[in-house]
């Protein structure tokens, strides 16, 4: 199996180590290909997102590093692109014209009952306060809106794969324990994955929260269902520091194997191909 990761963050957004430190670690651990994916610029002020003014610098740094490490590791210039409805998403000209090797489509912001967008990706404490302050304490509304927003984003295309496809499960469970076991929640998720299978798109298995919180996104309980639906997967760590680059990988691949998966997807010579494990 080739060791790969296409989801990581550097100081261009909210990551903590520069790109070259990630590359050095990736080479040391024997990764065959590696992708960097800053949080995209967005039309709002956000300390977690890359500034529009730095995009060019990011692309040229990646181009230089690709030359420098040629033959040692395949490097890919990616971006994790946020969705704010029709005006801001993977399909707008701004992102289509950006010379990226791949695009991740992710939802970190959802609109409340008044149509105002809020970041639902913060820690549990922040999230609970946010739901009470800006969503009228209606956690079911938050969950439904999250999956609706994901569907809208998936529907329009313009990306290579979907980032952390059910990440709301962790914060929603902090707000309302066992919410993911309720029938309405499970029905939403089942329909959602069926919709994804019909669209024929690729999903990420995000391992970032596995070690600290025992969560994988998508949740492990759906792995067998994903296999039944034949949804292609790419395993990523969403690392913000190099030492967490393969955190949760061993467990994730083991659980995927148990669910019947025999391969995940990887970039090789610029194309998405199967990576048997």
Residues near 218 by Cβ (< 8 Å), separated by ≥ 6?
A: 165, 166, 193, 203, 205, 226
Cβ-count burial 69-83 (b if 16+ within 10 Å, e if not): beeebbbbbbbbbbb
CA angle (147 as vertex; 145, 149 as ends), nearest 5: 65
Q: Is the Cβ of residue 113 or residue 243 nearer to Zn ion in the bound state?
A: 243
Which 8-state DSSP code applies to residue 207?
-
Residues 78 and 103: their CA atoms lie apart, in Å, by 6
Q: Are 166 and 198 in contact (CB under 8 A)?
A: no
Residues 53 and 50: their CA atoms lie apart, in Å, by 8
Q: Is the Cβ of residue 3 or residue 239 nearer to Zn ion in the bound state?
A: 239
Whole-number minimum distance, CB 260 to Zn ion, in Å? 27
Whole-number minimum distance, CB 70 to Zn ion, in Å? 26
Whole-number minimum distance, CB 84 to Zn ion, in Å? 14
Residues 172 and 128: their CA atoms lie apart, in Å, by 8
Q: Which residues bind Zn ion (CB under 5 A)?
A: 80, 106, 163, 238
Q: Are 140 and 104 in contact (CB under 8 A)?
A: no
Whole-number minimum distance, CB 37 to Zn ion, in Å? 6
Q: Is the Cβ of residue 192 or residue 217 nearer to Zn ion in the bound state?
A: 217
Q: Is the Cβ of residue 80 or residue 166 nearer to Zn ion in the bound state?
A: 80
Whole-number minimum distance, CB 28 to Zn ion, in Å? 22
Q: Is the Cβ of residue 10 or residue 106 nearer to Zn ion in the bound state?
A: 106
Q: Is the Cβ of residue 43 or residue 260 nearer to Zn ion in the bound state?
A: 43
Whole-number minimum distance, CB 147 to Zn ion, in Å? 16
Neighbouring C-alpha atoms within 13 Å toward the C-beta of 5: 30
Residues 203 and 72: their CA atoms lie apart, in Å, by 27
């Amino acid at each position: 199996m080739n060791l790969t990761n296409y989801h990581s963050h550097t100081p261009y957004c909210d990551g903590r180590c520069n790109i070259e430190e990630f590359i050095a670690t990736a080479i040391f651990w024997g990764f065959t290909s590696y992708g960097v994916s800053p949080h995209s610029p967005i039309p709002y002020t956000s300390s977690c997102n890359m500034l529009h003014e730095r995009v060019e610098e990011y692309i040229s740094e990646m181009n230089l590093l690709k030359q420098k490490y040629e033959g040692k590791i395949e490097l890919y210039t990616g971006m994790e692109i946020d969705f704010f409805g029709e005006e801001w998403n993977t399909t707008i000209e701004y992102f289509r014209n950006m010379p990226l090797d791949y695009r991740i489509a992710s939802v970190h912001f959802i609109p409340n009952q008044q149509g105002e967008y809020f970041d639902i990706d913060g820690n549990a404490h922040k999230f609970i306060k946010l739901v009470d302050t800006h969503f009228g304490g209606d956690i079911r509304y938050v969950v439904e809106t999250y999956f609706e927003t994901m569907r809208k984003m998936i529907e329009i295309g313009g990306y290579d794969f979907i980032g952390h496809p059910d990440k709301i499960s962790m914060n929603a469970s902090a707000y309302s324990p066992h919410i993911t076991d309720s029938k309405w929640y499970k029905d939403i998720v089942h329909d959602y994955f069926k919709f994804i299978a019909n669209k024929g798109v690729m999903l990420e298995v995000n391992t970032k929260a596995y070690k600290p919180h025992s969560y994988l996104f998508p949740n492990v309980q759906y792995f067998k269902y994903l296999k039944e639906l034949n949804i292609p997967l790419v395993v990523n760590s969403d690392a913000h520091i190099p030492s967490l680059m393969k955190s949760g990988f061993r467990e994730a691949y083991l659980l995927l194997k148990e669910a019947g998966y025999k391969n995940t997807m990887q970039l090789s010579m610029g194309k998405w191909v199967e990576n048997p494990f």
